[in-house]
Amino acid sequence: MKVGEVAERTGVSVRSIRHYERAGLLTATRKPNGYREFDGTAVERVRAIRHLLETGFTVEEVLSLSGCLMGAAPDTNCGERTLALYRDKVAKIEQQMRTLQQLKQRIEERICTLEPC
């Protein structure tokens, strides 16, 4: 199927699909006329990519799991790699939350210097 059809079926822009292809997350063959041709697994693969990106993963992190996404050749380490990536992401989020809490506290302290608390 062509890039526009993948975009229509997934609700993802053509530009994003081309970005995924450039990043190595998605592959297509080129027809003699220059059009990209995606196989039947592209729709599920794009959906899996979007899910991970919307969950806060970076393109690089998703790429590290590319062998575990739909349409990829089976990778026997998928469960372990996915679990490690998820745990690492949770640790990063927890650190960001601690940092944000500290920033919030500092701002609240500044507010109290400007008005009675």
- pLDDT tens figures, 81-96: 888 889 999 999 999 9
Dig out the tokens for 105 from the structure. 């506290």
In angstroms, rounded to a whole number, what is the distance separating the alpha carbons of residues 112 and 34?
63
Dig out the tokens for 38 from the structure. 């995606």
In angstroms, rounded to a whole number, what is the distance separating the alpha carbons of residues 41 and 26?
10
- Please answer whether residues 64 and 77 qualify as being in contact, where contact means their C-beta atoms are separated by less than 8 angstroms: no
pTM comes to 0.76
Q: Crossing angle of helices 42-54/3-10, nearest 10°? A: 50
13-67 pLDDT per residue, tens: 999 999 999 999 999 999 899 888 999 899 999 999 999 999 999 999 999 888 8
- Please answer whether residues 39 and 46 qualify as being in contact, where contact means their C-beta atoms are separated by less than 8 angstroms: no
pLDDT band at 70 (very low <50, low <70, confident <90, very high): low
The amino acid occupying position 33 is N
- Please answer whether residues 65 and 37 qualify as being in contact, where contact means their C-beta atoms are separated by less than 8 angstroms: no
pLDDT band at 111 (very low <50, low <70, confident <90, very high): very high
